[in-house]
Structures are given as structure tokens and as C-alpha cells.
Chain A
Amino acid sequence: MLIEARDLQKIYQLSSEVSVAALRGVTLDIESGEFVAIMGQSGSGKSTLMQILGCLDKQSSGSYQLAGVDISSLDDDSLADLRSRKIGFVFQQFNLLPRMTALENVILPLVYAGQAQQQTRGVAALAAVELSDRADHWPNQLSGGQQQRAAIARALVNEPDLILADEPTGALDTKAGGEIMSLLASLNEAGKTVVLITHELYIAQYTKRIITIQDGRIVNDEANKSRKAERL
């Protein structure tokens, strides 16, 4: 089991009196090689769940194991290390660093993980997202779709166990969004575990399993039977 979450709670303490329960007991298993969409209304707790699954934050209670490792026992730097080896992130706002070329952005996780053959692996990751000819471009010289593809290359470069994408198509038009989803689907075909958050049903239709969250709880979790194979 890649992800094993048991009764996850997340409470944001805003002041001594006011607190927000963003997650109210989420139990979730995701196996290696799955392609999962998490859906739900704004404020339902999707991003909060994603942050915990991505080891960016810790739960208030409950337990979470990523690839058999209990993350609640790890300190900040160990979490950073874990992220750089096991998880690739894709964000709605791409989050490419403006003063670095596409290639330099892509190899950033390798740099922090202190890994060898950074250039070669970076070039390969860019090739996998069909962006080889843009390696030396600055982010502001790329279209939104291209930027998101570079961001996916960055998420891929460390050969992570898990790719987490928080509304990866949220800032793109339908066509570019479709391209990104095809790319994620093909990565999943190649064996990567992909978990993404989306508001839109047609995006979720690309995935194999759809989890719906409401008010910090999972209200629905089923295989996507209506998945359209021709989209691939």
C-alpha cells in the first residue's frame, strides 16, 4: 500500500476560541499505480488532505503512512528529504521559479536531493513532456500549458512514487487542460501513481477512481466506470 491514512483530522487553530476543522476523519488507502481524482466543493478540505498526503503538513490526529513510513515522527528536514525522493508536486499556479530556465527548474528536486546526472535526467524529463526544445527558455517565455508541462517534468524528474496535483488544469483553458490530463494519464499508464484535485467532472473523467469530499469527510469513493478510453 502506498498511502494508508486512518481517521485523519486537521484542525486549524485560528485563535484560542476559534478553530476550523478542515478534515474530520478521513480514512483512505491508495495503492501503487492508481489514478485518483479528489473532488468536492470549495472549502471542503481537498487541499488540506493533499498537503498532508504530500508531507507538506502534519495531521492533527489520526495516522498516515507513506510507503510504510509513519510521517508523524519525522522532523521538517526529514520531511523535506522524503518529499524530494518520493513525491512530485504539480500546482495550479505552476510555481516555476522566474529566474531559472525550464531545465534549471526541472532539476531543482535533484539539486536538493544531491543526486547525480542532473542535466541528463532533466533533459530526459523535459523530453517526456515534449518540451525538449524549450529547455533554455525562461518561464515567462512559455505558454501556460508549457509551463505546466515543465512543472510536471519537475515532478517527474526524481522518479517519485507519487505525483500529487492540486487543480493542475485550473489555470488553463479546456484544450491545454486536456493536454495536461492526457500527459498525466500516460504517466499513470507508465506506472506512476497520480492523485489530483479538481472541481470539474470532465477532468475527473480521465481518472480511474473518484473520491468526493464534503465538509472534511469522504462521502463517496468509487471506481470511475464511465471513464472514456478514447480520451487517452
Chain B
Amino acid sequence: MSLMMTVRIALRAVAANKVRSGLTMLGIIIGVGAVVAMISIGAGASQSVTNQIQGLGSNLLTVMPGAAGSQGGVRQALGSATSLTTKDAEAIKTRVLNVVRISSEDSGRAQVIYQNNNISGSINGVTADYQKVRNTSLAVGRFIDASDLRISNRVAVVGQNIVTDLFSGADPVGKSIKVNNIPFNVVGVLASKGGAGFNSPDDTIFIPLTTAQNRVFGVDSLSQLGVQIKDPQSMDQAVQDIGWLLLSNHGLSDPQKADFRIMNQQDILQTMSQVTGTMTVLLGGIAGISLIVGGIGIMNIMLVSVTERTREIGLRKAVGAKRKDILKQFLTESVTLSLMGGLVGILIGVGGSRLISLATGTATFVTLGSVLLAFGFSSAIGIFFGIYPAMRASALSPIEALKYE
């Protein structure tokens, strides 16, 4: 019997019991839909982590003030201590090997006003090197330059979300804003980095470091140093060198008492991407269980179908059907059920992941892999859970089957 004919017979058998077939498929639909949606959530998370890694800038170390350990008094929040200064930055730049450039930053929150709009904005005082170290590019205008720093100029560069929130989407270049009541002239807008990262530049207003220290925050400490290293191989050595240098500059001998912390953010994000990878597998696995439940539903209905059609099987055998003909017929039927369920499930999974990302704002990403996986999985389930009923059907003796009432 040709494959096309077998498929046609299977489709007819499926169509003959529409409600029953629909309900049976529902299990697979839900299972496949869940797998596709869950994997898309996981893949979306991985994707945004990857974006962040790429957005970080290459070979970047971050130095933050604050105690590494919690012994000896109250532990201060990272970045809030005042132990890191411009002098430290200069020392690192001149005395540590393989340092390409440094971005000294002083960030905090301040009230920002534009016309009637009033937000509590994240302010970052930066140097001209920020752009290169942090791997950001401009959308319009210019970035803060050396002369701005020299004269503590009151200019600002804003991120994309600030454009939306503060300027309601209008072009901010040339506009005047007030930061803690000090007027600033907006000279540039950063290109969006995307991703929901921590301290995303999209949410930040950048001003010259000197202006931030002298006029806005009134302290000359730094909240963060971005240190760009020449190549990945030199990173570990640089971490050590910077550590010893800062310890000695701060007059400390015990590394346990360090009043700063050096982080390799790429390490952190790589760990995060491993976590999201695990999360994807976990979510997919849990959704996969519902697929198996759906498969059991198919097996159940196929067993019922074999019993119902015992006489049909007997007749087919009497007129010459071999074991493999019957096996093929029932397998095709169960695979048809599971594949149709799988297709609908994929559509629902794709739609569902759209809805999830619309509703929660988290990125979801339907991968071709997950669709193929779901497709392959549902046909595999059709075969796996169809094989037992089909074997039972093919093993029936024609006379017993013909006698069956």
C-alpha cells in the first residue's frame, strides 16, 4: 500500500471522530506549545545576556569601592564607599601592565527636570574614554570630550530611554535640562544598547566627571572604574596587579581588608548565560513532561480505536493485509494525530511567546531549533506511543477479529 494512501486512510480515521481526535491532540498541542514557549523564554534570556556581554566592551575589568568581606564593622554597599579616587585611576593607568584605557565614573541619582517633566534620573559622571571602554556609540550629537572635563562644562548626553521618558520622544539635542537645579545643555544621544541590564546606559544621563564631582555630587570619589585590558590572556594578571597596587596605595597589607572590589564582568555574565542555559533546559523539560502526558493520551485513544476496529482489522487481514500493513496503518494514524497536534502546538507556542513578551516585557526568542525539536518530538511521540497499539492490532488473528462483536 502506498504511503499516500496510508496517510489518506489515517486522515479519514482521524476525521471520522473529530471531537475525540481533537481532544486527543489537545494534549500534544498543549505540550508542544509549552515546549516552544518555554524554550523561547529561555532563549530570550540567553539572547539578552549575550547582548550584554557584547555590549560590555571587550576585556573589561570593573573596580568598585567597598569592602570585599563583611568582617570588621558594617559592610557598605558596593559603589557607595568613597575609597576609590581619581588618583587610583591614574595609578592604575600608569603602573599596571597591559591597561589600554580607563573610564573613571561617578554615578548617583538626582532629580532631573525638563519643562514640566520631572524624573529621578540615574546620573553618571564620565570621561571621554567611557565610550571606548564601555563600547557605546552615539545616535546623534557628540559625546563628552576632554575640554568639557577641563572646564567642568554643563553638558549632558542622554540614553534612549531618557529621550522617551523625559523628552517624550522629541529630539533632545540643544535642549536644556536641570539636574539638581543646575542647568545642562544636551549635546548628544547614545544609541540604544538594548537588553534589560543593570545600570543600562539607556536609562542614564551622562555628564562630565569633573562636573559631577564638583557641582552635582560634591565629592571627589569615584563610584566605578572601567579598566580595559589589552587582551583576554592578560586579564587575570591585571586583576592581581590592580589589587596589590590599590592595597598599597590605600595603606593596607591584608587583602582580606581590601576596601575595593575587582570584577571581571564577562565572567559574571558567562555564568549568567550558563544559568539561563540551564533554565532553558529545565523549562523545556518541564514542558516536555506535558508532551509525554499527551503521548499517553494518544496511546489510550489508539488502543480504544484498535478495539473498536477489530472487525475491520480482521477483514483487512482476510483480504490479504500483512502484519506490517496493519502496523503501518495504525502507526500512521497515531503519527498523524501527534503531528497535527504538534503543528497547532507550534503555532500556539509562537503566539504564546509573543504574548508573554508583550505582557511581561521580557524578551522571548523562538528558535528554529525549538520548533524543529517540537516537531521531531511530536512525531517521535506518535511513533513511540502508537507502536504498542499498532503491534496489538497487527498481532490479531483474522478469525478472532472477524468474530469480534
Contact = CB atoms under 8 A, between A and B. Distances in A.
Task: Give the interface size bracket for B toward A.
Answer: 20 to 34
A109 B1 CA distance: 10
Interface in A74-97: 76-77, 80-81, 83-85, 89, 91, 95, 97
A34 to B, nearest CB: 22
Given A83-B320, A84-B320, A95 B315 contact: yes
Contact of B319 (A57, A76, A154): A154
A169 to B, nearest CB: 18
Contacts of B315: 95, 97
Contacts of A77: 322-324
Contacts of A67: none
| Most chain A C-beta atoms within 10 Å of own C-beta, residue among B12, B16, B320, B397 | B320
Q: Is the interface of A mostly helix, strand, loop or mixed?
A: helix
Given A76-B323, A112-B321, A113-B320, A91 B312 contact: no
Contacts of B230: none
Contacts of B399: 51, 56-57
Given A97-B312, A99-B12, A99-B13, A109 B320 contact: yes
B13 A111 contact: no
Contact of B398 (A56, A97, A109): A56
Interface string A50-69: 01001011000000000000
Contacts of B311: 95
Contacts of A57: 397, 399
Contact of B402 (A91, A109, A154): A91
Contacts of A97: 312, 315-316
Contacts of B16: 99
A109 B397 CA distance: 18
Contact of B322 (A56, A81, A89, A109): A81
A153 interface: no
Interface in A134-164: 154
Interface in B322-342: 322-325
A68 to B, nearest CB: 20
Contacts of B402: 56, 91, 95
Contacts of B312: 97
A204 interface: no
A111 B5 contact: yes
B399 to A, nearest CB: 5
Given A95-B402, A97-B312, A99-B16, A109 B319 contact: yes
A108 interface: yes
| Most chain B C-beta atoms within 10 Å of own C-beta, residue among A57, A80, A81, A85 | A80
Contacts of A112: 1, 316, 319-322, 325
A118 B16 CA distance: 25
B182 interface: no
B318 interface: yes
Interface string B374-405: 00000000000000000000000111001000
B317 interface: yes
| Most chain B C-beta atoms within 10 Å of own C-beta, residue among A76, A83, A109, A111 | A111
A51 B9 CA distance: 28
Contact of A83 (B9, B319, B325, B397): B319
Interface in A41-57: 51, 54, 56-57
Contacts of B316: 97, 108, 112
Contacts of A54: 318
A85 to B, nearest CB: 8
Interface in A91-124: 91, 95, 97, 99, 108-109, 111-114
B318 to A, nearest CB: 5
A114 B325 CA distance: 11
A97 B314 CA distance: 11
B12 A80 contact: no
Interface string B7-24: 001001100100000000
Contact of A108 (B12, B314, B319, B398): B319
Contacts of B398: 56
A82 B16 CA distance: 32
Contacts of A76: 322-323
Contacts of A80: 317, 320-323
Nearest to A97: B312
Nearest to A99: B12
A165 to B, nearest CB: 13
A109 B316 CA distance: 8
A56 B320 CA distance: 10
Contacts of B12: 99
Interface of A: 51, 54, 56-57, 76-77, 80-81, 83-85, 89, 91, 95, 97, 99, 108-109, 111-114, 154
Given A56-B318, A97-B312, A99-B13, 6 more contacts: A54-B318, A76-B323, A95-B311, A95-B402, A111-B1, A112-B316
28 contacts: A51-B399, A54-B318, A56-B318, A56-B402, A57-B397, A57-B399, A76-B322, A77-B322, A77-B323, A80-B317, A80-B320, A81-B322, A83-B318, A84-B320, A85-B320, A91-B402, A95-B314, A97-B312, A99-B9, A99-B12, A99-B13, A109-B319, A111-B1, A112-B1, A112-B321, A112-B325, A113-B320, A154-B319
Interface of B: 1, 5, 9, 12-13, 16, 311-312, 314-325, 397-399, 402
Top 7 A-B pairs, shortest CB-CB distance = A84-B320, A112-B320, A109-B319, A77-B322, A95-B315, A80-B322, A112-B321
